[in-house]
Structure 1
């Protein structure tokens, strides 16, 4: 793995701090979080030969999350795993009439278990082309979106996760080398604000890429 793939520094604070965490309960932040903002590198490749998915590195270049699909691209069930292959999240594709959504479950989904988060394209945004925004619901407030994923107008790989008040939660964009060279579209930088569950954000980013057929 090239040394360019992953960063070697903690994230600087994002431009707009998180101003409202009222959508989160303690359980939402329980899997993995940090008191400091952090940078991750997402490589849109699986470590498994012939597999589909992505590999996530921390600021030290260590693998921290993996998605390895052994079936075709865009399958209906995806697992977010840690570096040892333990399942952290199960992400399932659900379809209602013409509309599809992705539901995330903690660990390996068990029968009757309720989803932890739900991600779908927005279709009620006035004066905005369909698909420029993705809405996220959390389990304890299923009717009102907790977050929005805002896609860049010019680059599908770039997006921001914001809360109800517009506070920035996380941002993903194409990675730049230390010399300022923008790397390929399969190498991304993800900056996560402090005190946010990393696995939740990773799950949302996986769902975002699945919605846009990038995994």
Structure 2
């Protein structure tokens, strides 16, 4: 396997991602399915210059119930937590480290349909305060094959008038065959949050491990 050179230049990575977003360009990230610090489970994400952007450190041997996505400084950005005592396979996505009163951003459900479908998971906004339905906002669908490192992430917006919009916001694809499946590319479209796209990757990894 080819060696992967990662240079934890925090400032340079932040500037590179911000510059691409300001120019309205897609952000291309390389995801390494391994902890940078402990040479174990987790994720290391870097930009096209090899600078560290995101990281995930996992300490449990099995599939953890909670995973925290951090920036290169170690600051918690998003927390993915498997919901306890749920009949359906559900995960909750919180801002920050997930401690109270951290706002919940999404509930993610794995698609278990017996019908042949490309859909793997759906992220929905929290329920409205009266519990009658989803709060206004975008939901996200993930389609493709995580095992094959081929994913499309779509933002889906519906309006009370009946109209709806669906657009691709991020893509996962394999890099060179020589590096195997533990290194792949995450391409985030303009005007979409790279951290949220990476959280979706974490979700699919957790769902496939459960």
Q: Same fold, TM exceeding 0.5?
A: yes
Q: Give CA-to-partner distance per residue, 1:66-108, whole Å, 9 cap, x none.
A: 0001122311111101112111112111144432211111112
Match of 2:192 among 184, 196, 209: 196
Structure 1 unmatched runs, 5+: 7-31
Q: SS state of the match for residue 108, structure 1? A: coil
Q: Which residue of 1 aligns with 2:64?
A: 75
Q: SS at the partner of 1:151?
A: strand
Q: Is 1:175 paired with 2:175?
A: yes
Query: Are 2:139 and 1:146 aligned?
Result: yes
CA RMSD of the aligned region, Å? 3.0
Larger RCO, structures 1/2 (Cα 8 Å, 6+ apart): 1
Aligned pair count reads 182
Distance 1:97 1:137 in 2: 16
Q: CA deviation at 1:211?
A: 0.8
Residue 158 of structure 1 deviates from its aligned partner by 1.5
Extract structure 1 runs of 4+ deviating beyond 6 A. none
Residue of structure 2 equivalent to 1:157: 149
Q: Does 1:184 align with 2:180?
A: yes
User: What TM-score comes out, normalization by structure 2 length?
Assistant: 0.74
CA-CA distance at 1:133 after TM superposition? 1.9
Greater per-residue helix proportion: 2
- Structure 1 pair 194/66, CA: closer, same or farther in 2 (3 Å)? same
